[in-house]
Amino acid sequence: MKNVICCRCVKCGREYPAAPDITTCECGGILDVIYDYEYIATKLTKETLRARTDRTMWRYRELLPIEESTVPSGLCVGMSPMYEADNIAAELGIAKLYIKDDGINPTASLKDRASAMAVTKAIEAGYDTIACSSTGNAASSLAGNAAKAGLKTYIFVPSRAPKGKIAQLMMFGANLTAVDGSYEETFELSKAAIDKFGWYNRNAAINPYLGEGKKTVAHEICEQLGYKAPDYVAVSVGDGCTVAGVYKGLYDMYMIGLIDRIPHIISVQAEGCCPINTAVINNEPWQPQEENTFADSIAVGVPRNPDKAINAIRDSGGICVNVSDDEIRSARRYLASKAGVFGEPAGVTATAGLIKLSREGRLPHEAVVVSIVTGNGLKDIDSAIQSVGEPVHCKNDLAQFEKLFF
Amino acid sequence: MKNVICCRCVKCGREYPAAPDITTCECGGILDVIYDYEYIATKLTKETLRARTDRTMWRYRELLPIEESTVPSGLCVGMSPMYEADNIAAELGIAKLYIKDDGINPTASLKDRASAMAVTKAIEAGYDTIACSSTGNAASSLAGNAAKAGLKTYIFVPSRAPKGKIAQLMMFGANLTAVDGSYEETFELSKAAIDKFGWYNRNAAINPYLGEGKKTVAHEICEQLGYKAPDYVAVSVGDGCTVAGVYKGLYDMYMIGLIDRIPHIISVQAEGCCPINTAVINNEPWQPQEENTFADSIAVGVPRNPDKAINAIRDSGGICVNVSDDEIRSARRYLASKAGVFGEPAGVTATAGLIKLSREGRLPHEAVVVSIVTGNGLKDIDSAIQSVGEPVHCKNDLAQFEKLFF
């Protein structure tokens, strides 16, 4: 890879060659992929992007850690739509709001970006099997992308995982193990099996390439805005991998000169589970927290990528804001009815944070803001049913209908 | 509209000016939009398409019935991925199979193409409110696209409609009426209210423009195949609007010279509800049927667009095939695990039909086939849960895991 220099530990700084199946540093720290931006800047320009017909995340391949000869595997991921929401911007008192709808990806979440990268690296490294433990979007996106790529998958979920998510995984043909135990035990069994059988490891924050897939959402934001950096990018934050990826993508675009400054990250967590924001706000090491939120995709009390996430928020001069479950529910309806974008609870948490910041007067009126929706509302229809209540009932009687509505 | 000549009744041939809110012919027949293909052929060429950056269904706007000055409204619909499925083609004994995944549209079904057209025409005609009766994808796509376009919606569903679908509609801010009665009564109340209040009518097969939106899926298939027409295009068929739209799109591309022949339509219905296929196979007028299939989106015993659908199948020299619910269930798992595309039951019915035809030796070995997946599997997770059974359970114990899997 001419574009990649090495993998570097974010904790101790130790460097490693970027092998396709590298995991963490010997010190336990997470690795960051280090690029040769000078070289990349000569290859990836506005002109090359304008001429490029690839409409997936791989259109930014000079910024991605794959060999020049690698043919990307997996589903058609990325280039999700970004909507101008002038009506919402006006109500929030900001200049511009863009909603980046990543819920339209093939398995309906931003995690497809990481999983498409994972299956591509697994094949590049010569593996025929890939594994992870997850209850949620990571698992379904891995199962879908691996099915397309022709890889076998072993996926480990706690046996309490919702039946709908289990059904989706089994549909994709994953070898699914429901572990009778906690999530921690599920993770342990997956690790033991991966070590024993030598499968490719797609566990978040162990594999340094996953975030490199996720960062393409930020590349797209820059290109879709005509390379005019927004002032803020709002992201919902759970284990920290997505926010770290978003920052990395913005940093990439800045380093190769396609944007002239790095936007401030708005890191939004649930009040009931906000270890990363608490650490940043209090400027202290992060501490484990309870997981008291219905937004399951960001209910992570022991984040697996706190270092990169905290660095991303700080280095961008970011803002942290925590929102209640009621604020998330309310933002979900607001976003669907005002912008036509129906997100899962964690998917609309960024927007809930924006609404709160604007009410508190913490966003300047001239602000241009992008809010990322990370997952489709169809992923969690049960909570939608609970939140909307009963519809109006009526007989086949126009007079009754008129009375009810007018 | 320089590209549109008129609207013509498919039953009696009477012609009408293409007003933006025209409905059916005085004889009750459905109208077809008639184009000036000679004019369009001078405007829409391979070269103009290659240079066009619009990656939505509106990239074919010369073939769409909107004014030159109209700015399309609604969500970013269309340009869904089409996957080569060489592994499935090999198993079916055909030369090439392409899976067109229309479940990745913004509200997760092909119906978004019709609804984006409907809201665009409603705004063009000066309406601020749009209405329909539906229990399914038409309603959710209308609610989502109207929310984005800033139109009010009135949607009528039978009160027995699944709670998940009702929740999605209410999330999008639709004025929802649950009618205590049959679907027929629901339709009647919607018609009475639309007549009384003068709303824009998005009821299928009444509004001639809806199919014109749907046909863009066929335009995309042609472009994505480099204008080399496939031999067959397989479509699941319910009320007949989608298959009619697919044929119209292929016909368009043939008439402006972008493909050199019209592919054969493979019309796939559920065995428990197949009035259109029965009419074509027996060469007799269609008769109402019971609605005995779990594939709810195509459970239409009284199709609303039989004439256009039957013409489409016949004029293309098409094939009709009916499949059982078990064959649909089996195709659903097969497609998800072999291609990474998870469809709703009606969404994979076309593929179930293909599998059946190939087993019966009714497809030539050199056949190039496209199968359209019309809706996302997340739309009906309950039936997925029923079909996959229980996963393997295991303690956090590597030895037990090994015994279970190896």
A125: CB partners within 8 A, 6+ apart: A19, A20, A21, A200
Q: What is the mean pLDDT of residues A107-126?
A: 97
Asked if B150 has any chain A CB less than 8 Å from its own CB, the reply is yes
Strands A152-158 and A232-236 turn out to be unpaired
Reduce the DSSP state of residue A220 to 3 states and report it: helix
pLDDT, tens digit, 9 for 90 and up, residues A319-356: 999 999 999 999 999 999 999 999 999 999 999 999 99
Is A271 within 8 Å of A293 (Cβ atoms)? yes
In this structure, what token pair is assigned to residue A52? 């490029």
Which helix (H) or strand (E) segment holds residue B112: the answer is helix B111-124
Give the contacts of A369 (CB within 8 A, at least 6 positions apart).
A89, A94, A96, A97, A98, A230, A231, A232, A233, A234, A266, A354, A363
Q: Which class is domain A128-198? A: alpha beta
Residue B196 has a pLDDT of: 96
The average confidence (pLDDT) of chain A is: 96
Mean pLDDT over residues B96-117, rounded? 98
CB A214 within 8 A of CB A245: yes
Cβ(A229)–Cβ(A284) under 8 Å? no
CB burial readout A12-44, b (16+ within 10 A) else e:
eeeebebebbbbbbeeebbbbbebebeebeeeb
Which residues of chain A are within 8 Å of residue B351 when distances are taken between CB atoms?
none
* Nearest CB to B393 within list A144, A175, A180: A180
- Give the per-residue pLDDT at A218: 98
Contact B333, B388 (CB under 8 A): yes
Give chain A positions within 8 Å (CB) of B71. none
Burial (CB count within 10 angstroms: exposed 0-12, middle 13-18, buried 19+), residue A306: buried
**Residue A163: is its pLDDT beyond 90?**
no
d(CA A84, CA A98): 5
3-state secondary structure B218-266: HHHHHHHCCCCCCCEEEEECCCCHHHHHHHHHHHHHHHCCCCCCCCEEE
Contact call for A189 and B396, based on CB within 8 A: yes
**What Cα–Cα distance (Å) separates residue A238 from each residue in A182, A214, A374?**
18, 14, 11
Whether B72 has a pLDDT exceeding 90, the answer reads yes
pTM for the predicted model, two decimal places: 0.97
Same fold, B82-108+210-388 and B128-198: yes
pLDDT one-digit tens code per residue, B373-404 = 999 999 999 999 999 988 999 999 999 999 99
Domain A82-108+210-388 in CATH 3.30.830.10? The answer is no
| pLDDT at residue A11 in the model | 94
Q: Is B175 on the interface with A (CB under 8 A)?
A: yes
* CB atoms closer than 10 angstroms to residue B386: 12
Enumerate the residues of chain A whose CB falls inside 8 A of the CB of residue B87: 150
Q: pLDDT averaged over chain B? A: 96
Predicted confidence (pLDDT) per residue in B320-364, tens digit: 999 999 999 999 999 999 999 999 999 999 999 999 999 999 999
Q: What is the Cα–Cα distance from A32 to A30, expressed in whole angstroms?
A: 7
Instruction: Taking each helix axis as running N to C, give the angle between helix A137-149 and helix B325-339, from 0 to 180 degrees, rounded to the nearest 10.
Output: 90
* ipTM score of complex: 0.96
Yes or no: say if B104 and B45 are a contact pair by the CB < 8 Å rule: no
For residue B128, what pLDDT is reported? 98
Q: Which residues of A140-161 are buried (b: 16+ CB within 10 A; e: fewer)?
A: bbbbbbbbbbebebbbbbbeeb
Q: Once rounded to an integer, what is the mean pLDDT over residues A220-235?
A: 98
The angle at the Cα of A387, spanning A383 to A388, to the nearest 5 degrees, equals 125
Cβ atoms within 10 Å of B21's Cβ, excluding its own: 16
The answer, yes or no, to whether residue B204 has pLDDT greater than 80, is no
| Closest by Cβ to A396, choosing from B179, B377, B391 | B179
Residues sharing a CB contact under 8 Å with residue A235, sequence separation 6 or more, in sequence order: A242, A243, A246, A265, A266, A267, A268, A350, A372, A374
Residue tagged 């939009």 (tokens): B33
Please indicate if any CB of chain B lies within 8 Å of the CB of A106. Answer: yes
Percent of chain B predicted with pLDDT > 70: 100
Count interface pairs A-B at CB distance under 8 A: 229
User: How many CB atoms within 10 Å of residue B152?
Assistant: 15
Lowest mean pLDDT among A131-135, A186-190, B269-273, B365-369: A131-135
In which band, very low, low, confident or very high, does the pLDDT at B271 lie, cut at 50, 70 and 90? very high
What's the pLDDT at A184? 84
With bands split at pLDDT 50, 70 and 90, how would you rate the model's confidence at B228?
very high
C-alpha closest to that of A199 among A133, A136, A145, A135: A133
Sheet holding A4-9, edge to edge: A15-16, A4-9, A31-35
- Is the pLDDT at A204 greater than 90? The verdict is no
Query: Which residues does A384 contact at the CB level (< 8 Å), separation at least 6?
Result: A332, A377, B164, B167, B168, B171
Q: What is the DSSP string of A306-321?
A: HHHHHHHHHHTT-EEE
Residue pLDDT, tens place only, B137-174: 999 999 999 999 999 999 999 888 888 889 999 999 99
Q: Are A215 and A246 in contact (CB under 8 A)?
A: yes
d(CA A44, CA A46): 7
Contact yes or no for B398 and A336 at CB 8 A: no
Question: DSSP secondary structure string, A136-205?
Answer: SHHHHHHHHHHHHHT-EEEEEEETTS-HHHHHHHHHTT-EEEEESS-HHHHHHHHHHHHHHHT-EE--TT
> What CA–CA distance (Å, rounded) separates A309 from A298?
13
**Domain residue ranges of chain A, discontinuous segments joined by +:** 82-108+210-388, 128-198
Q: Is B346 on the interface with A (CB under 8 A)?
A: no
Q: How far is CA A273 from the centre of its chain?
A: 17
- Beta strand A82-84 with A96-101: parallel, antiparallel or unpaired? antiparallel
pLDDT tens-place string over residues B191-201: 999 999 999 99
Give the nearest chain A residue to B379 (CA atoms). A378
Q: For residues B369 and B354, is the Cβ–Cβ distance under 8 A?
A: yes
Contact residues on chain B for A104, CB-CB shorter than 8 A = 104-106
- Residue A268: DSSP 8-state: E
Q: How far apart are the first and last CA of chain A?
A: 66
The tokens describing B355, both together, are 């599998």
